[in-house]
Amino acid sequence: MALSSHEIKQKFLSFFESKQHTFVQSSPIVVKGDPTLMFTNAGMNQFKDYFLGNSEAPYKRVVNSQKCLRVSGKHNDLEEVGHDHYHHTMFEMLGNWSFGDFFKQDAIAWAWELMTGVYGLPKDQLYVTVFEGDAAANILFDQEAHDRWAEFIDPKRILKGNKKDNFWEMGDTGPCGPCSEIHFDMRSAEQREAVDGATLVNQDHPEVIEIWNLVFMEFNRKADGSLDRLPAQHVDTGMGFERLVRGIQGKSSNYDTDVFQFIIQNTAKLCGKNYGDNEAQDIAFRVIADHLRAVSLCIADGQLPSNTGAGYVIRRVLRRAVRYGYSYLGFQESFFNQLVPGLADYFAGSFPELKAQESFVQRVIQEEENSFFRTLSSGMGRLGTFIDQHPKGVVDGATAFELYDTFGFPIDLTDLIARERGCSVDMDGFQVALQAQKDRSKADAVKQTGDWITIMADSDESFCGYDATQCVSEISRHRTIVAKGKNLYQLVLDVCPFYAESGGQVGDSGHLIGEDGEIVRVLDTQKENKLHVLVCENLPKNMNQVFTAQVDASRRNSISSNHSATHLMHSALQEALGSHVAQKGSLVNDSALRFDFSHFGKMTDEEIAQVEVRVNEKIREGIALKEHRNVPIAEAQKMGATALFGEKYGEYVRVIEFDANYSMELCGGTHVANTSQIGFFKILGESSVAAGVRRIEAVTQQSALDYINGQLEELSQVKIALGNPKDVVSAMNKVLEENASMRKQLEQMEVEQVSALKSSLLQKVQTVAGVPMVLEQMNLPSADAAKQLCFQLKQELVNPVVVLAFLADEKPGLAIYIDEQWVAEKGWNATQMIRECAKEIQGGGGGQPFFATAGGKNADGLSAALASAKGILGA
């Protein structure tokens, strides 16, 4: 009996724990606070700072399993996923790490021991690669790695690899080094006999696959391209968990392992089709199985589907899965969400955040599916109409692109449906239009980031903003950013009192005041990994002086007040609504606070009032802030502090406590020293942001007072306007009722007025050559009344002709009605006639042959206009 995937992972972890490695939890799959990366795409992401030397690793040896997502940027496999058997969007990366501890010798020995000893993989089906060296880059052959491997494996199975495959770099600059890969030849004995596996390594052969990459970081690449030896050497290994399981379980597809099979079987149950019956369906099964993992884990880490950024990526992945289910498995309505519970159970041991939010995740997905099915059916309608109008024709690129771009209708569905109905699609034209849109978007996003220019080489770049809003400091480095043709300057201080935007709290603004008196405005403060970066309009002329760094303290105070109120409200919401309430987003600035949380259904007015009352009680209690810094994460959890899903916490955390029995949260933000400083808390509104997520907006301090006063002021205006009645509401209702009834009366009067005019006009009917005519000049209440009159006269008379020259609102106008019969018999045309007549009043007009109107400027010309009409009609 082969090992299960859970057992395989457990063996990996315990193996390295037995080698004194410490297990570290996976960081969230959704990256926050790094503009260059949306999703975690490798195990090393969360350890980046250790390699860069920005901070020191708490453990020398680490083992982990990291959830990763590759859907955008450099690693974009999305369109291939499902069509083959080994590409994935979401995958787990197993790794063991040395931060300045063991190096090549141990890393290689342990890797071999695990592969062949623990997992029992056959030695004669394994190959390893080592870096061959690169004369041009002046790096030598990795002799040491080669020699270590040679202790275990037949030297014929040690292959040399080039810089592309066997030299790893983090970026253009920074830590780098040679790497060594383990490849597994999974072909049958006959095939192995026929073709030497060594020739298939790194050739994208589906059965000769790389399963483990050991990176030895020993160099630092400098900006000029040269390499320095690092003071401390690191090991970073990464092994794709899904392909490892496939190798050990001896399957020919990742999807045949127990990592994916239960999802595929659950899908099969829902659609009543079997996996393995035909290839098109099987692709759909695989797409769904893969995408379910990606979408569910992202939502569990707090990234909801949306129309922008990372949320949009999730939406696209989700829609791709639903699309395949719709096209190939016959799903006509939401199904994808029903696969969540099974997945949550599978991951319960490794990623419990999914199980903990199972119903939330399921609900979000279901709502998203429903919305996509609506999009599909409306696109279907549009495409259908087009094909009806162009039977057996070509759907041109512009139309196909419009369906895709504006209405979200997938291009492959357009193609499928067009072909079913005997049409074709101009795919080249579609691609041209798509490329044009991409170019447009890219041109807009042009932003250049200059290199950091260091002023103080060995600065701590520490943050003192929890304790002070002002301090003496120096500039440690700076750089220039060009965005939309505008220059902005960023600088980092040696000691920084400015809070950088994070955790929903906006960055501080303020000033730097130089010794020489120069003042530089700080517009904003942003976080880049652990750096606090000040954003300024200009740089000080003298960078090498001592500055007073001064945070805008009153703004900071308002921000802190709103942030503390957010914490109090979070607890109040849990009291009022239940323990399912969890933070899903937060924005705290100086004017207001916004808090998104998971909750199904609209909050009642009573619940909102209850939360508001509770928070204000806590404000009046005057609870002193207890701030706990550098608490080990385990201890913080023991204290009962609330942690957020999808937030990355370090080994040591900060706990913000307002009454140990009321509010305790892990938080890096700034807060008031005592809740009484919040003064007053007022909720402005409650609304929905997504399925299962509600939003509350609220204000505190002066903003709250301003809001209340604004409301009272409006009310007092209303009262004054109503004459200061005792009961404003009933007085208002009375006015509204009166208004409604008067409007009705007015309408009635207008009708009567028109009717009276009609009666008087009926007296003036003259018959010219057998045609009853009304030809009059008069005053009318509105231009619309002329139209009304014409059509009413039509009801009363038999096939009449009506010409009215009128003055309405002091403006001259004409209206001509010619019954259809005379239009046909005599060729009279109201439009032509009125253009002729309108010349007399210096105006123009038009309409249809039987009815036309005109307006003009010259009221004195009305009689002439009427005369002109009479002339034409022969009256």
* Token pair 């790389």: residue: 210
Cα–Cα dist 519/542, whole Å: 11
Query: Minimum Å distance from CB 370 to RNA?
Result: 10
Nearer to RNA, 844 or 874 (CB): 844
Nearest distance in Å: CB 650, RNA: 29
Nearer to RNA by Cβ, of 146 and 320: the residue is 320
Q: Which is nearer to RNA, 56 or 809 (CB)?
A: 809
Whether 547 contacts 515, CB under 8 Å: yes
**In the 8-state DSSP scheme, what is residue 798?**
S
- Please report how close the Cβ of residue 73 comes to RNA at its closest, in angstroms: 9
Q: How far is the CB of 588 from RNA (least distance, A)?
A: 18
Residue from 36, 35, 43, 48 nearest 16 by CA: 43
Cβ-contact 707, 699 below 8 angstroms = yes
CB of 777 to RNA, least distance (A): 17
**433 vs 451: CA distance, rounded Å:** 36
Phi, psi of 570, rounded to the nearest 5 degrees: -55, -45
Q: How far is the CB of 740 from RNA (least distance, A)?
A: 10
Q: Nearest distance from residue 440's CB to RNA, in Å? A: 5
* Beta strand ranges found along 419-465 (DSSP E): 424-425, 447-449, 453-454, 462-463
Q: Comparing C-alpha atoms, which of 225, 347, 290, 341 is closest to residue 91?
A: 290
Instruction: Report whether 860 contacts 751 (CB < 8 A).
Output: no
Closest to RNA by CB, 622 vs 844, is 844
What the block records as the tokens of 476 is 């440690």
Smaller CB separation from RNA, 618 or 794: 794
State the CB neighbour count (10 A cutoff) for residue 695.
17
Q: Which residues contact 615 (CB under 8 A, 6 or more apart)?
A: 565, 568, 569, 572, 681
Please, what is the minimum distance in Å from the beta carbon of residue 3 to RNA?
Answer: 40
Min CB(784)–RNA separation in Å = 8
Which residue lies nearer to RNA by CB, 441 or 579? 441
Of 628 and 787, which has the nearer Cβ to RNA?
787
Q: How far is the CB of 696 from RNA (least distance, A)?
A: 16
The sign one gets for the Cα dihedral 425, 427, 432, 433 is positive
- Minimum distance, C-beta of residue 513 to RNA, in the bound complex (Å): 31
Annotate 273-341 with DSSP letters as a single string: --TTS-HHHHHHHHHHHHHHHHHHHHHHTT----SSHHHHHHHHHHHHHHHHHHHHS---S--GGGGHH
By beta-carbon proximity to RNA, the closer residue of 316 and 719 is: 316
The residues, any chain, with a CB within 8 Å of residue 637's CB and separated by 6 or more, are 643
Residue with Cβ nearer RNA (123 or 440): 440
Closer Cβ to RNA, 83 or 744, answer by number? 744
Q: Rounded to the nearest 5°, which phi and psi values hold at 798?
A: -95, 115
**Nearer of residues 498 and 851 to RNA, judged by Cβ:** 851
The rounded distance, in Å, linking the Cα atoms of 139 and 145 is 14
The least CB distance from residue 753 to RNA, in Å, is: 15
From CA 475, how far away is CA 451, in angstroms rounded? 15
Element housing 146 (H / E):
helix 143-150
Nearer Cβ to RNA (577/834): 834
Q: Are 662 and 614 in contact (CB under 8 A)?
A: no
**Which lies closer to RNA via its Cβ, residue 135 or residue 445?**
445
Residue 95 or 843: which CB sits closer to RNA? Answer: 843
Instruction: Locate 345 and state its tokens.
Output: 């159970």
The DSSP result for 725-747, as a single string, is: -S-HHHHHHHHHHHHHHHHHHHH
CB of 795 to RNA, least distance (A): 7
Residues contributing to the site for RNA (CB under 7 A):
307-309, 312, 315-316, 319, 371-372, 375, 378, 402, 404-408, 434, 437-438, 440-442, 444-445, 787-788, 791, 794-795, 813, 843-848, 851-856
Question: Closest CB to RNA among 311 and 669?
Answer: 311
Q: Which tokens hold the place of 181?
A: 């890969």
Nearest C-alpha neighbor of 503 from the set 653, 635, 607: 653
Give me the DSSP letters along 551-604.
E-HHHHHHHHHHHHHHHHHHHHHHHHH-TT--EEEEEE-SS-EEEEEE-SSPPP
330/327 Cα distance (integer angstroms): 6
The distance of closest approach from Cβ of residue 319 to RNA in the complex, given in angstroms and rounded to an integer, is 6
CA–CA separation, 256 vs 259, rounded Å?
8
- Contact by Cβ (8 Å): 64, 43: yes
Type of residue at 704:
A
Q: How far is the CB of 437 from RNA (least distance, A)?
A: 5
**Other CB atoms within 10 A of residue 550 CB:** 18
Q: How far is the CB of 818 from RNA (least distance, A)?
A: 12
Residue closer to RNA (CB basis): 306 or 674? 306
